[in-house]
C-alpha cells in the first residue's frame, strides 16, 4: 500500500509539468488579455495581473520544492522539431532557480507599480508575452529553445518601449532591437555549428546537457563558438563597449519596461555566460576569462564615472546598471566558487534593488513630469516616506553591509581576489564610486529647501508603498540572512567549477590551505 502511494506521489510529481506550465501560463494570459473588451482597460489589467500573480505563485512553488544539489530538476522533455533534433527541454538548477523566481516576482510588481497612460490592454498583453519569453530562456536546456526565447523577448520589449515610452522612444526602440539582434545573429550560427560539430556526423541534437557532457569540440573551434555566444551575451549584459543601447532603452522605456529590462532581461546575458559560456565551452571560457574580466572591470569604473555625470535621474540608474553588471561579469569569470555564487546572488540583488530604483524614479517623474536632477529639490520635506524608501533601496544598491547588495559584492570580491588580485583592487574602487553617484544624486533630489515647483510634491500612496514592500522585504532579508539562497546556489556552482576544471587545464586555487594564487 505504502509503495503504491509513494509511486502515485512520485508519478504525480512527474506528471505535473511545472516548468512547461510556468512558461506557457503567461502566454495564455496574453491571449486572454488580448480578447478582453478594449473599452474596459482595467479589466485587462486585472486579468493580466491575475495571470502574472499565478505565475509568481508557481515560481514560489518551484522554490519551495527545489532540492539543493540535485542538478536539473522539474525537467520536462518533449520532441519539438524532430527534423532537426530540437526538443522542448526545460529544467532548473540552483543557478537558474533564482532567476526564475526573480522573474516571477518582478513582473506583477512592475504591473502594479506603474500604470500605462493609454492602451492598457496591449500593454498588459505584451508584458505577459515578455514574461513567458524570459521564463523560457531561463528554464530552457536546449540550445535552439534558448535562442528562440532569447530572441523573442525583443519583440514585446520593442513594442513596450516604442508604444508607451517617453519622447525619444522611436529611436530607442529601434536601436534596442537592431543592436540586440545584431548581437545574437552570430549566436544562431554558433548554436547550429555547436550542434553539428558535437554530433560529429551522428544524429544532431541541440540538447544542452548532451552536448556539454560530450564536450568533444576542438579547442580552437570552441573558442570561435564561445565568441559567437559571447558577443550576444555581451550586448545583452551589456559589457563595455557594447553598452550604448542601454541608456537610451532604459531612459525611454516606460517604468515597467525599465524594471523588467534592468531586473531580468540584462540577466539573460550574464546567465547566458554562465550556462552557455562556462558550461558548454569550459576551455574557451578559461582562455577568454582575462579579457572578459578586464571588460567587466572597465564597465564598473566607466559606468560609475558616467553615472556620476548624468543630469537625468533615470539615465543615472541606467548607467549604474552598467557598473553593477560589470561586477557580475567579474565574479563569473573569476572562475571561483565564491565569485560565481556572488555573481548569481548579485544578479538577484541587482534585479531587486534596481527594479525598486526604477519604480521610485518612475513615481518621481509621474509627479513632476521631469527627471532632470536640477529640476528636483528638497523632496524630503513633503515626501519623507518616499525619501526613506529611496534611501534603503539606494543603500542596497551601493552595497552597504546589512543589506543584500553587500553580500553579493563581498562574495564577488573575495572570489575574484583569489584569482585576479589587481582587478579586484580596481573593482573595489567602483564600490566607492557607487556611493558617490547615488548619494550625491540623493542629496540633490531630496535634501535642501524645496522650491516653488517641488513644494507640493505628493507623498507615496499606500498602494505604491505596498507594491514596493516585497522588494524592500527582500532587500533586508537577503542582507541579513542570505543562507537559504546561498545553500541552494552553492552545490550547482561547485559542480560547474568542477566541470570547468575537469575539461580544461584550469585549477581553482585552494585558498583555505594557503595555496599561492595568481597575482
Nearer to another protein, 149 or 360 (CB): 149
For residues 364 and 376, the answer to whether their CB atoms sit within 8 Å is yes
Nearer to another protein, 98 or 147 (CB): 147
Q: How many residues bind another protein (CB under 8 A)?
A: 32
Per-residue contact string for residues 234-263; x = within reach of another protein by CB under 8 A: ------------------------------
Should residue 181 be labelled a site residue for another protein when binding is judged by CB under 8 A?
Answer: yes
Should residue 369 be labelled a site residue for another protein when binding is judged by CB under 8 A?
Answer: no
Closest CA to 41 of 88, 90, 111: 111
Cβ of residue 162: shortest distance to another protein, in angstroms?
Answer: 4
Cβ of residue 277: shortest distance to another protein, in angstroms?
Answer: 20
Cβ of residue 297: shortest distance to another protein, in angstroms?
Answer: 29
Question: β-strands 86-92, 73-81: how paired?
Answer: antiparallel
Among 193, 370, 495, 511, binds another protein (CB under 8 A): 193
Cβ of residue 148: shortest distance to another protein, in angstroms?
Answer: 4
Nearer to another protein, 119 or 210 (CB): 119
For residues 223 and 287, the answer to whether their CB atoms sit within 8 Å is yes
* Cα–Cα distance measured from residue 133 to residue 419, given in angstroms and rounded to the nearest whole number: 36
What does residue 144 show for φ and ψ, rounded to 5 degrees?
Answer: -65, -45
Among 6, 8, 60, 178, binds another protein (CB under 8 A): 178
Should residue 32 be labelled a site residue for another protein when binding is judged by CB under 8 A?
Answer: no
Nearer to another protein, 13 or 178 (CB): 178
Nearer to another protein, 169 or 314 (CB): 169
Residue carrying the nine cell digits 532591437:
177
Phi-psi region of 215 (alpha: psi -120 to 50; beta: other; left: phi over 0): left
* Cα–Cα distance measured from residue 473 to residue 105, given in angstroms and rounded to the nearest whole number: 12
Cβ of residue 381: shortest distance to another protein, in angstroms?
Answer: 38
Of 143-172, which residues contact another protein (CB under 8 A)? 147-149, 151-152, 154-155, 158-159, 162-163, 169-170
Nearer to another protein, 148 or 435 (CB): 148
SS3 content of the chain, % helix, strand, coil (to 5): 75, 5, 20
Phi-psi region of 74 (alpha: psi -120 to 50; beta: other; left: phi over 0): left
Nearer to another protein, 70 or 79 (CB): 79
- Angle subtended at Cα 412 by Cα 327 and Cα 269, rounded to the nearest 5 degrees: 45
Cβ of residue 241: shortest distance to another protein, in angstroms?
Answer: 18
Should residue 196 be labelled a site residue for another protein when binding is judged by CB under 8 A?
Answer: yes
- Angle of helix 18-34 versus helix 120-139 axis, rounded to 10: 160
Cβ of residue 336: shortest distance to another protein, in angstroms?
Answer: 35
Stretch that binds another protein, among 190-198, 284-292, 367-375, 396-404 (CB under 8 A): 190-198
- Over the Cα atoms of the chain, what is R_g? 22
Cβ of residue 437: shortest distance to another protein, in angstroms?
Answer: 32
What does residue 240 show for φ and ψ, rounded to 5 degrees?
Answer: -60, 135
Stretch that binds another protein, among 181-189, 257-265, 492-500, 505-513 (CB under 8 A): 181-189
For residue 506, count CB atoms less than 10 angstroms from its CB and return exposed for 0-12, middle for 13-18, buried for 19 or more.
Answer: middle
Nearer to another protein, 198 or 503 (CB): 198
CA dist 253 to 61, 165, 237, 362, Å? Answer: 31, 4, 17, 10
Cβ of residue 24: shortest distance to another protein, in angstroms?
Answer: 11
* Cα–Cα distance measured from residue 201 to residue 505, given in angstroms and rounded to the nearest whole number: 28
Residue 277: all three cell numbers together: 559560456
* Cα–Cα distance measured from residue 429 to residue 60, given in angstroms and rounded to the nearest whole number: 37
For residues 258 and 234, the answer to whether their CB atoms sit within 8 Å is no
Residues sharing a CB contact under 8 Å with residue 334, sequence separation 6 or more, in sequence order: 289, 293, 340, 412, 415, 416, 418, 419, 420
Of 38-97, which residues contact another protein (CB under 8 A)? 80-84
Q: Is the peptide bond before 241 cis (omega within 30 degrees of 0)?
A: yes
Residue 318: all three cell numbers together: 541606467
Of 308-337, which residues contact another protein (CB under 8 A)? none
Stretch that binds another protein, among 185-193, 288-296, 374-382, 469-477 (CB under 8 A): 185-193
Per-residue contact string for residues 471-490; x = within reach of another protein by CB under 8 A: --------------------
Cβ of residue 83: shortest distance to another protein, in angstroms?
Answer: 4
Should residue 436 be labelled a site residue for another protein when binding is judged by CB under 8 A?
Answer: no
Cβ of residue 126: shortest distance to another protein, in angstroms?
Answer: 11
Stretch that binds another protein, among 1-9, 177-185, 336-344, 469-477 (CB under 8 A): 177-185
| Three-state DSSP class for residue 501 | helix
Kindly list the residues in this chain that would bind another protein in the complex (CB under 8 A).
80-84, 122, 147-149, 151-152, 154-155, 158-159, 162-163, 169-170, 173-174, 177-178, 181-182, 185-186, 188-189, 192-193, 196
Amino acid at each position: 500500500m505504502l509503495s503504491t502511494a509513494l509511486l502515485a506521489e512520485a508519478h504525480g510529481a512527474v506528471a505535473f509539468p511545472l516548468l512547461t506550465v510556468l512558461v506557457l501560463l503567461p502566454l495564455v494570459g496574453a491571449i486572454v488579455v488580448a480578447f478582453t473588451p478594449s473599452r474596459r482597460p482595467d479589466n485587462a489589467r486585472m486579468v493580466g495581473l491575475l495571470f502574472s500573480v499565478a505565475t509568481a505563485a508557481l515560481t514560489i512553488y518551484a522554490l519551495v520544492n527545489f532540492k539543493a544539489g540535485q542538478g536539473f530538476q522539474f525537467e520536462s522533455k518533449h520532441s519539438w522539431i524532430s527534423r532537426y533534433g530540437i526538443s522542448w527541454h526545460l529544467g532548473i538548477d540552483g543557478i537558474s532557480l533564482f532567476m526564475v523566481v526573480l522573474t516571477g516576482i518582478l513582473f506583477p510588481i512592475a504591473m502594479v507599480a506603474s500604470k500605462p497612460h493609454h492602451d492598457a490592454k496591449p500593454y498588459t498583453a505584451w508584458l505577459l508575452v515578455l514574461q513567458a519569453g524570459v521564463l523560457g530562456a531561463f528554464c530552457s536546456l536546449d540550445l535552439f529553445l534558448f535562442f528562440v526565447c532569447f530572441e523573442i523577448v525583443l519583440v514585446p520589449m520593442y513594442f513596450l518601449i516604442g508604444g508607451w515610452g517617453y519622447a525619444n522612444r522611436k529611436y530607442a526602440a529601434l536601436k534596442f532591437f537592431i543592436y540586440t539582434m545584431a548581437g545574437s545573429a552570430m549566436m544562431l550560427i554558433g548554436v547550429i555549428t555547436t550542434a553539428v560539430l558535437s554530433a560529429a556526423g551522428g544524429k544532431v541534437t541541440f540538447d544542452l546537457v548532451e552536448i556539454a557532457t560530450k564536450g568533444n569540440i576542438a579547442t580552437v573551434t570552441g573558442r570561435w563558438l564561445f565568441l559567437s555566444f559571447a558577443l550576444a551575451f555581451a550586448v545583452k549584459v551589456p559589457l563595455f563597449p557594447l553598452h550604448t543601447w542601454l541608456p537610451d532603452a532604459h531612459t525611454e522605456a516606460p517604468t515597467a519596461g525599465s524594471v523588467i529590462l534592468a531586473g531580468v532581461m540584462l540577466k539573460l546575458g550574464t546567465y547566458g555566460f554562465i550556462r552557455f559560456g562556462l558550461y558548454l565551452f569550459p576551455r574557451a571560457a578559461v582562455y577568454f576569462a582575462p579579457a572578459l574580466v578586464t571588460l567587466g572591470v572597465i564597465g564598473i569604473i566607466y559606468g560609475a564615472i558616467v553615472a556620476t555625470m548624468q543630469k537625468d535621474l533615470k539615465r543615472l540608474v541606467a548607467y549604474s546598471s552598467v557598473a553593477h553588471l560589470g561586477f557580475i561579469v567579474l565574479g563569473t569569470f573569476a572562475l571561483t566558487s565564491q565569485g560565481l555564487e556572488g555573481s548569481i546572488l548579485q544578479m538577484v540583488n541587482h534585479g531587486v534593488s534596481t527594479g525598486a530604483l526604477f519604480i521610485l524614479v518612475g513615481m518621481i517623474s509621474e509627479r513632476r513630469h521631469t527627471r532632470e536632477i536640477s529640476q528636483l529639490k528638497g523632496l524630503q520635506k513633503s515626501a519623507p516616506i518616499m525619501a526613506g524608501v529611496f534611501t534603503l533601496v539606494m543603500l542596497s544598491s551601493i552595497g552597504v553591509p546589512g543589506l543584500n547588495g553587500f553580500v553579493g559584492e563581498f562574495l564577488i570580491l573575495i572570489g575574484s581576489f583569489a584569482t585576479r588580485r589587481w582587478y579586484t583592487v580596481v573593482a573595489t574602487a567602483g564600490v566607492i564610486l557607487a556611493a558617490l553617484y547615488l548619494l550625491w544624486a540623493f542629496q540633490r533630489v531630496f535634501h535642501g529647501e524645496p522650491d516653488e515647483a517641488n513644494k507640493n510634491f505628493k507623498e507615496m500612496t499606500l498602494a505604491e508603498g505596498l507594491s514596493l514592500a516585497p522588494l524592500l522585504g527582500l532587500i533586508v532579508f537577503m542582507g541579513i540572512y542570505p543562507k537559504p539562497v546561498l545553500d541552494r546556489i552553492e552545490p550547482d556552482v561547485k559542480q560547474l567549477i568542477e566541470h570547468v576544471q575537469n575539461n580544461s587545464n584550469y585549477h581553482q586555487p585552494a585558498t583555505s590551505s594557503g595555496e599561492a594564487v595568481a597575482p
